[in-house]
Amino acid sequence: MNYNKYLDVNPEVAAAVAAGKPVVALESTIISHGMPYPQNVETALNVEKVIRENGAVPATIAILGGRLKAGLTAEEIEYLGKTGQAVTKASRRDLPVLVAKKMDGATTVTTTMMIAHMAGIQIFATGGIGGVHRGAETTMDISADLEELANTPVMVICAGAKSILDLGLTLEYLETHGVPVIGYGTKELPAFYTRRSGFGVDYELDSPEELAETFHVQRELGIKGGMLVTNPIPEQYAMDFDVINKAIDEAIADSVRDGIHGKETTPYLLAKVKELTGGDSLNSNIQLVYNNAKLAARTAAALCRL
């Protein structure tokens, strides 16, 4: 495969892609910005283990020393975890500067999709996607994740949009851009920490094989863009709908008071919600990532059989 000259693909990942074997991309913002050390490193390594146990090769993605990396070593994951929020949270607009200046960057959903596509990886597991922030009608704060889903042919498996967002407007934006929103075993959009949101998805599919077949057909039809699969957090780890929403409302009020905006918003709100829920949200976050990794690996394996 003729890779981008700024891209380094881990040899195991490159061999799997070349042989048509299943590979699952993973983001690195969840390591640097999504969780505290050492849980972030432990979770990242366990997610890779879950993917291997379910028949696929993991490819954690990041920017290190200005190189786009598809597939990190355990030492590189440890470095990102320890460095934490000192690493740039890298969205699409950050890539040229980070690469040119040979800097480090932790990839968001957007940049993970971009680099995965460059490396020939079609399936990506994450926690939750970004979306339209509450109050976006005045702030215009809309995550680049949504635009990337409209343009880059990667299936993103997540636990829904983060419940700190305006979920109704997020779904409207995805519909406008022609992105299919699939509920895995559910007709309702899961909201990250909780299994319900009050908003419906476009279609419900019930097996990795159905997911793979649908994505395969989308590509065969020549329809550009990705596909969003929303996989509800397992029941035993889900948080109470009212408890989590009360914490989110408090966190949003605090963010307004503290003048938080732009790409600092999500890490700030997630940290506040963790504080307000006594750490319960962190455990839920970890479990839903494992759940998404398992489904992604099985879907990647099914896609390779088509």
Residue-by-residue pLDDT tens, the chain, 306 positions: 768 999 999 999 999 999 999 999 999 999 998 888 999 999 999 999 999 999 999 999 999 999 999 999 999 999 999 999 999 999 999 999 999 999 999 999 999 999 999 999 999 999 999 999 877 777 788 999 999 999 999 999 999 987 778 999 999 999 999 999 999 999 999 998 899 898 999 999 999 999 999 999 999 999 999 999 999 999 999 988 888 778 778 887 888 888 887 767 777 777 777 777 776 778 888 999 999 999 999 999 999 999
5 is annotated as an active-site residue: no
Domains of the chain with CATH codes: 7-304 (3.40.1790.10)
Catalytic residue among 27, 48, 76, 148: 27
Residue 254, pLDDT score: 86
Q: Is 210 noted as a catalytic residue in this protein? A: no
H or E, element range at 97: helix 95-100
pTM: 0.92
Give the per-residue pLDDT at 193.
87
List the catalytic residue out of 69, 89, 162, 263. Answer: 162
Q: What is the DSSP string of 209-267?
A: HHHHHHHHHHHHTT--S-EEEE-PPPGGGPPPHHHHHHHHHHHHHHHHHTT--GGGHHH
